[in-house]
Copies of this chain bind each other. A is one copy, B any other.
């Protein structure tokens, strides 16, 4: 397999060139890499602000600033990994069901080839077809879920498939194992007082925001590691996990969230987990400013990539 990595040369400042993620090479679904970026420009599942269809383009543009090494992990990422950008999954702008099917279909061959998918949403509905594709290759997954919302409604405003329901559906379909799954950062007003307990009743562990602050980063990481317990895992990161000050460009912002350094530190603690899939969702460029939300998402993806690299290094494997 050829080695794919971002360019680095004097005549190629970061603002030069057509914007793939971190200016990685574009790959076709049949090409192999250790990880692959997949844009999912879908937002028909959004119940409030929409426009997340422009999320992939915005995150790619902001990712120009993402470089090649991670100083905290002290690792030159592309010594251990090859990566590419698989472009966007197909979507049908006025057909929810057809879009969901097309997204899943697009991801299947990439996962089948052994590439770890890193998806950029799109609203949170997109985790469902992604989990379908990843679970098809890897069986029931542990879910590590950073979000302000549990997204386990049975239906929302009359719809079974939308951004409030993906993890209920995933559970019903056996894609995720709630006993090894955990939701972190939940907060905000709810429709009923017992809404968050519904998630616990389904088997998820939930760390609500006030408890998250009380535990601190180390405490949260410990709880996640204990919960996942070395199962193959999927990480889903809704940018509304962050406070709106850090991620204004999102669909259903909730005040009272963590700072970016706290989120990054949590992610950095998860190097021991064998992740087989990732997504970052709900980036809404029309509500962003100064690209700060898109930049955050681009860096969250770099944390994902670094987690993969760190495990490779631990396993003694270079690319």
Contacts and interface: CB of A to CB of B under 8 A. Distances in A.
Given A69-B189, A243-B260, A48 B13 contact: yes
Nearest to A105: B11
Interface stretch (A15-23, A167-175, A228-236): A15-23
Contact of A11 (B53, B76, B91, B253): B91
* Range of interface residues on A (Cβ < 8 Å): 35 or more
What DSSP secondary structure best describes chain A's contact surface?
Answer: loop
A250 B161 CA distance: 28
A256 B264 contact: yes
Contacts of A254: 65, 299
Contact of A10 (B46, B70, B92, B191): B92
A28 to B, nearest CB: 12
A318 interface: no
A18 to B, nearest CB: 5
A94 B299 CA distance: 26
A39 B70 CA distance: 30
Contact of A87 (B17, B261, B295): B17
Contacts of A249: 290
Of A53, A190, A292, which is in contact with the most chain B CB atoms at under 10 Å from its CB? A292
Interface string A15-50: 111111000001000000000000101011111111
Interface in A142-197: 156-159, 161-162, 186-196
A51 interface: yes
A265 B15 CA distance: 33
Contacts of A195: 69, 71
B261 A302 contact: no
Interface in A71-108: 71-72, 74-76, 85, 87-88, 90-96, 98, 102
A221 interface: no
Contacts of A295: 244, 253, 255
B94 A193 contact: no
A265 B210 contact: yes
A121 interface: no
A192 B79 CA distance: 10
Interface in A259-306: 259-261, 264-265, 286-292, 295-296, 299, 302
Contact of A292 (B60, B159, B248, B264): B248
A47 B94 contact: yes
Contacts of A64: 48
A288 B12 CA distance: 25
26 contacts: A9-B90, A11-B91, A11-B158, A12-B90, A13-B48, A14-B47, A16-B91, A46-B93, A49-B51, A49-B54, A50-B53, A65-B254, A66-B189, A92-B158, A93-B162, A95-B158, A188-B299, A244-B246, A244-B292, A245-B292, A249-B290, A253-B292, A255-B260, A255-B295, A286-B286, A288-B290
